[in-house]
Structure 1
Amino acid sequence: MSEIDTRRANTLDDKKKSFAAELPEDCPFPRAKECDGEVFMLVKQEPITSDQVRSQAERGRARNAMGEAACMRHGLSVFRTFSECDHARRVLSARNIGDLIAVATLNADHGVIAPTPSLPGHLTWWPFVETQRETLFRVTNTDGA
């Protein structure tokens, strides 16, 4: 059993540190680590609402995904730096993901995170079920501002 599987099994009784029951097998990835630090994410508007911080799976877009793609769709796309998130905003502008960049400081109480380099600096964050995601983020104009 991987470190994450063990952590998941050990925390199912603690609602604040459990993952959604719908996660595919071996998800989050065994390489995922506890959250620790700032992340940046694209959002559509301020104030940030719970609808803006839902995974692709929570939006009903994971039905046909398989393997690692299925697991990634159960997490949220975030970036290590403002500039990496800004790059994604420009590259993905046609997808209408969002024009604003929000920042959050995550810690071990918020879930786990792993590099998933589909774009430079891209990470996937799997929040614990009880994490109030929308309260963690605020719109920013620069790194850490």
Structure 2
Amino acid sequence: MLWLKALHIIFVVTWFAGLFYLPRLFVYHAGLKPAEVADRERFKIMERRLFTMMTVGGVLAVLFGGATLGQAPGFLQTGWMHAKLTLVAGLIGYHVWCYRLLIAFKHDRNQRSERWFRGFNEVPTLFLFGIVILVVVKPF
């Protein structure tokens, strides 16, 4: 069980690294001037590669988390785990939203401002705080 938990944590870190950095790339991408075509193409490549890495991290985090729960099914009886899984579902939704934004940038159809992306970039921090507090403090 400790190996599963360790692998879960490693891939959660990998996933969050991508969730923190991809929206930051969107901030810079959205701030490009129309004439900066070469930079725009470079951002598209970086965003695609980062999204792939963070998707692998997210999938493995969920799989190893599920395997850990399979070894300790009693956690499913706790309120804090229900709250954590709800936040994880929200994080998956945020990940999918990042994909949709990535596709918009890929096809040069982004409609959002650099400023909007600065706010969007902060959302994973809220999820991280909530999840860590639930796991460590177990308030329910």
Q: Is the TM-score greater than 0.5?
A: no
Say which one has the larger Rg: 2
**TM-score calculated relative to the size of structure 2:** 0.25
Greater helix proportion: 2
Q: Higher relative contact order by CA 8 Å / sep ≥ 6: 1 or 2? A: 2
More strand by share: 1
